[in-house]
Structure 1
Amino acid sequence: MADGDADAWAPPGGGPPLGDGPQPPFAPPYGSPYPPPSYPPRAPDGRPVVEGSNGLAIASLVTGVTCCLWPAALGLGIGALVQLRRRHQRGRGLAVAGVLLGLLGLAASVTGLLTGSFHVHVGGGGAGAAAQPAAGATAGPSTPDSAQGSAPRPTGIFAWQPGTCFTETTDHAGHRHHAATSCTSPHWGEVTARVTMPGSTYPGTEAAIRQAHALCSDAKTDYITDLWAIPRTVEVHDIYPEDATAWAGGGHSALCYLYDRAADGRAIGSLRRDGSNLSPDQQALLKDLYSLDELEPEFAKPQTDPEYVGYRSQGVSQVLSGVVATLGQDQWSAGSKDRIAALVAALKADQSAWTAAADTTADPLGAYRAALQNDNPVAAETIARRALGLTDHDLRNDPTPPPPPSTPPTQPADGGSADAV
């Protein structure tokens, strides 16, 4: 072929001839009529990848941190773990946390059922049913039922009055049965109040537990108005209706009772200290000394902070000032006037010492300890309590009473009881 002749096989534009060097990629003139096939993404282990966190895992964690929903947390968490084994998705940690919370809820529920702590359920017509108070059972005035409204009259154990002592037995099926007994005999608990639960329909077991616990929270100090007479081993428990039948038969009520864990279900004697067995002078003295009695457990705690004891000394002085004022305002019987006057004089002297301790800046810790040793108001209160026939030993701090005095305390002139708890 001559040099001037054009090569008929040369590519347009003077590109390299076919077969010489790399070739440009082939592009179809009109494009492909079908898109390339797409497949769901997969993890290296072959599981399909799903965007976001697993919904069951999230729900498991939410129900796990919500009170009383541990069964749902456990079920949702297990379901989430099963799903996560089949797909690659976030949320395994949430699911594991939900399962753990569910297991903790299960363990707490089983422990509560086995130990009977705080609550005793009563089912309709079966477990927990008991007869009316037996002969010799101590019964006080009925709990006011003004809040009952149209609630039916309570029957069975829910008809028990404050002051009723009772035994508890458990059958082979785990059902608990209660029977009223005398408080002078070994007993499981002592009823402090019958409380009416709100609403006209049964709220469900979990809500009934919460309501009974809240309504019974003040049952101890209302029933034992003498703080010194409350042993530190005594706890407030309650008996609540576990179903709609017990709810209706119990008049929408729950029972609050005292249980002494040191006696292990065989307590003897009544703990009651209220208007049913205290004289007016005894009740007035306990009312006036209440703020001081609340403060006294702090005296047993060692103190090392100079700044804190300064505030503490000032607080003791203020409380004593209030107690002295209320003692002077009350009307006392002729047999108690001299004893109360002696108590007021002693507390005034103690107040002066605590005021001086609060004003001390050189050695506030030393001043606090000196006032605690030499001007402790517990000493004056003990004398007055003994004179009026009240408990003369604080059972909150030490359950073992001191040896009796060589001379028996004088019986109160107004007929109050001289027995100590």
Structure 2
Amino acid sequence: MSIPPPSGPQQPQDPYQPPQPQGPYAPHPQGPAQGPYQGPAQGPAQGPRQGPHGGPPYPVWGQGYLPLSRPAPVNGVAIAALVLGVLCFLPAVGLILGIIALLQIRRAGERGKGMAIGGMVLSSLGLALWVVMLATGGASAFWEGFKEGTGNTSLSLAEGECFDVPGDTFHEDVYDVDKVPCSGEHDGEVFGTIPLSGTSYPGDDYVTDTAEDKCYPLQDTYAMDPWALTDEVDIYYLTPTRDSWSWGDREITCVFANTDERGTLTGSLRADETTLDADQLAFLKAMAAVDEVLYEEPEEYAEEDLQANQTWAGEAGDVTGEQAEALRGHTWPADAQTAVADLVKDMEDAAGEWAKAADASDVDAFYEHYDNAYDYVDGDTTVTAREALGLATTPPTYEEDSESGSGSGDAGGLDV
């Protein structure tokens, strides 16, 4: 507690009189002090107090200690109100905290009034902004953009991983996935990823074209056995959008999924060097080489361009003969030797029919040998050889005008 100064004007003291005490124990004006520190009774005044040898009087101590001057503390609620106001986070809470802070400051004499008022003003502006966004639908658009931007970064899907998507169907827009084991049921299986470069979004058409051009080759590398891809399997790709690009999304994800949006897959479709043995790999590589040249059949019928079809038939005969020779030269397990040998003979016969089609004199002769050659493709000997090697034995369904050439339906692009 501070000690109040004596009432009345301060009079200068006589330099030849001892200073008058100003503390709490100064003599009472009506007589000697009656406090606990009362000294011996005073006699008549003896005149001015002299110093040694009659010198000037001693200075008198006893002015007392003045209380320390400490600044008032800053109100913590005012600080919280200002922080929420600056961040525009929970603006209603920031406004309420500002009001509470002002009441506490007035009652306790604390500092921070400016921070409380500043937090209230900023929170009021933020609250008004949220009201406008809710009224105009801006908040919904912001949230959707936020989900698109953060959704793909949470995907983080790698080749060989399987996942489920939220909801009952495989939607057009995928914001998040749940990774699950491939051994059980799942919505999708990743068979490849395609990184994209550049600082600005290249456009929807570019992203879609890139996915269609590069996902299919990755499919053939990941699932080397097209017979294992049943009619229920389709190709999809998860692509970045303009919004997610700004959040760092720079990758196309190639996915196997069910053709039915409500359907699922069971078990992994992976069939490559990590899952196949040497005999299976040798067989599938030979069959893939033959299939590749067969997929290059001209779009024009022989009636429209006989020469182009004959050139292609010659190439098909050459490749089929080369792969038959490669299979014959491989050392097969004892229980698969006969089956593979029968297939090799059919392939050599098919190569001869392709060669005759390439040398046909007219369209009718071309189609005669063309049909004979195709009778050997995916025939009984192929099924028997596959069964002996432990591979899928159900031939795929080839649809005319299918861009994939693998029996799958058209690919679907999904935004993420």
Q: TM-score, normalised by structure 2?
A: 0.47
Q: Which has the larger radius of gyration?
A: 2
Structure number with greater CO (CA < 8 Å, separation at least 6) is: 2
Q: TM-score, normalised by structure 1?
A: 0.47
